[in-house]
Amino acid sequence: MLRRVFLTSIAQCLFVGCVAQQRQEAVQSYAMCLSAVYASPQTAPLRAHIPFDSNDATLAQLADTSFATETEISSLEAVYPQLKSCENEFLRQLMALAPPFAPIFAANYRATDDDVVALVQHKMTWSDFTRRRRDRDIETGEAVTAEKQRLAAEHQVRTAAMLQGLAILLNQAQPSSLPAGAYRIPNEGVTCTQMSAFTRCW
């Protein structure tokens, strides 16, 4: 659950610079939601144990063998609904804008929820929680990168197949010469003529 507060960097890796504006805005909205919860007074008792970004965990936090106190458990219970709201909205936008990535983040959320329960029940120390969150965030980032690469390769294959099919059809009736103002798309066998605001291709 608390990993939602620290997931911003992973989410930014998913989208920034490589997707549509709507997806970037979804990430920014998610980051703002998480930042507001992390900065709230209710989260204050937890900030000594939990950095905003899991990569920023200090040696002291990674070595903290203490269990959550009653005050910290109360803080966890207070901020959970707020973080859940951030998470659900982000997943909703992922399903609409980038559905292949939603299961990756949803799995991370579920695993973190289990760790929070263990933390509250004194079955896990703060150091275990922090290390597991850090490692899970790294795995999530790697899964996101792999999925991006898979989708990019799939897109290239589809585009190449489409162009190849189009070229085969058009090559059956290639003109012997090009009319004035015409041009040919290199290596694709497609000829286009610009006429005013329109382009005719064959």
106-158, pLDDT tens digit by residue? 999 999 999 999 999 999 999 999 999 999 999 999 999 999 898 888 877 77
Asked if 147 and 182 sit in the same domain, the reply is: no
- The total number of structural domains in the chain stands at 2
**Which pLDDT score is estimated for 167?**
63
With bands split at pLDDT 50, 70 and 90, how would you rate the model's confidence at 8?
very low
Asked if 23 and 76 sit in the same domain, the reply is: yes
Contact in structure between 76 and 122 (CB atoms under 8 Å): no
The pTM (predicted TM-score) of the whole model is 0.68
Quote the CA–CA distance of 95 and 185 in Å, as a whole number. 37
Asked if 123 and 36 sit in the same domain, the reply is: yes
Q: Tell me whether residue 44 is in a domain.
A: yes
Cβ contacts of 32 within 8 Å, gap of 6 or more: none
Output the average pLDDT for the chain.
Answer: 79
Q: Tell me whether residue 162 is in a domain.
A: no
Q: Tell me whether residue 21 is in a domain.
A: yes
Q: Tell me whether residue 169 is in a domain.
A: no
> What distances in angstroms separate CA 75 from CA 38, 82, 94, 95, 116, one per listed residue?
11, 12, 28, 30, 12
Asked if 182 and 151 sit in the same domain, the reply is: no
Asked if 140 and 190 sit in the same domain, the reply is: no
Q: Tell me whether residue 186 is in a domain.
A: yes
Q: Express each pLDDT in 78-96 by its tens digit.
A: 999 999 999 999 999 999 8
> Which residue, 188, 186, 185, is CA-closest to 160?
188
For 200, the domain range is 178-202
Length of the chain: 202
Quote the CA–CA distance of 172 and 146 in Å, as a whole number. 40
Quote the CA–CA distance of 101 and 144 in Å, as a whole number. 7
Asked if 190 and 132 sit in the same domain, the reply is: no
Question: Which of helix, strand or coil describes residue 184?
Answer: strand
Q: Tell me whether residue 168 is in a domain.
A: no
Asked if 12 and 82 sit in the same domain, the reply is: yes
Asked if 201 and 115 sit in the same domain, the reply is: no
Asked if 140 and 187 sit in the same domain, the reply is: no
Asked if 121 and 55 sit in the same domain, the reply is: yes
With bands split at pLDDT 50, 70 and 90, how would you rate the model's confidence at 24?
confident
Q: Tell me whether residue 165 is in a domain.
A: no
Asked if 61 and 116 sit in the same domain, the reply is: yes
